[in-house]
Amino acid sequence: MQKYIVDAKESGQTLEKYVKKVLNTAPLSFIYKLFRKKDIKVNGHWQKEKYIVNEGEEISIFINDEQMEEFNKKNNYTPSNFIEPWILYEDNNVLFINKPRGVLVQKDENYNEKPLDQMVIEYLMYKGEYDPQNDLAFKPGPAHRIDRNTSGIVIFGKNHDALAYLFELFQKHELIGKHYLCLVVGDIAKEGTVEVPLRKNFDAKKVVVAPISSGAKPAKTVYHPIERFGDYTLLDITLITGRTHQIRVHMSYIRHHVVGDGKYGDFQANNLIEKEYGFKNQFLHAYSVHFGELKAPLNNLSKKSFKAPMPQEYDDLLNRLRDRKKD
């Protein structure tokens, strides 16, 4: 039997599509036979092909290791410690990475570069903690994602129990808190909350504000000004929910766009800050995560917090804004 945990990127697709990706060289007749024999289960219960899988659910496929090896095309991994300088924290269960801007967390068909999850696998291979040839039942993976052009903390689970518990923490948002540093356009003097529903618009390839009745999901963002520069404000942002592009869309909604945001931002403001300061990137950094009282296997993270240093280019921009403010 092979077991998998559905991650955020895989959530929302049919069970049939999920299994086809896992057994990517298996004949369709073989996959449909597994469904007929009830050899595919979700959280221990048999489900039909059109069942929609959700983040954190456990998918069990009742085939042996030999069949799995035959029907699961291997990736060409090469052991490497390339990401070692990015590691904030590591133990037997988790790995905290300070992801640089421009790196994908997981592979995207629109980009060819190596994603972070593959780098983590190759790092664990380098350490001798993971063997893709023998460890077919579980593959270490990210418990959440941040955008390609967002830097900061990404947490990986190194084993089944750790990743399943991390998914639970991120779904409930009770014993985990994430904070972002974000430079936005305009002057914000007081803290505030944005609470408007969001849904994906697949035709426009964007996330949009929409009513719940249209299929949108509740979304809540809390922001607090840290430093004001007149034309710009540095915010500490807390996500109460974790929707795709939530910060960028919510800031755009209140007309305080994220500096450098090429999809939801203020393009005139982006051009201006590039012209004046040479800054043309998205200023959004997942800088802090903290935990409540946790149970095993993550009990050693209880009551702890972790911070990720900002990229140097962000610090440089803030220092130039401070210098201008003094003049």
Domain termination site, one of 136, 155, 172:
172
Domain that holds residue 217: 174-326
Burial of 44 (0-12, 13-18, 19+ CB in 10 A): exposed
* Domain CATH for 263: 3.30.2350.10
- For residue 82, what are the contacts with CB-CB under 8 A and spacing of at least 6? 119, 122, 123
Digitized pLDDT (tens) for each residue of the chain, 327 residues in all: 888 999 877 888 889 888 888 887 677 778 888 999 999 999 999 999 989 999 899 999 998 877 777 776 556 789 999 999 999 999 999 999 999 999 999 877 677 789 999 999 999 999 999 887 654 446 788 999 999 999 999 999 998 889 889 989 998 889 999 999 999 999 999 999 999 999 999 888 899 999 999 999 999 999 999 999 999 999 999 999 989 999 999 999 999 999 999 999 999 999 999 999 999 999 999 999 999 999 999 999 999 999 999 999 999 999 999 999 877
User: How many domains are contained in the chain?
Assistant: 3
Domain termination site, one of 53, 73, 93:
73
CB–CB of 235/186 below 8 Å? no
Same domain, 318 and 196: yes
Same domain, 131 and 198: no
Same domain, 150 and 283: no
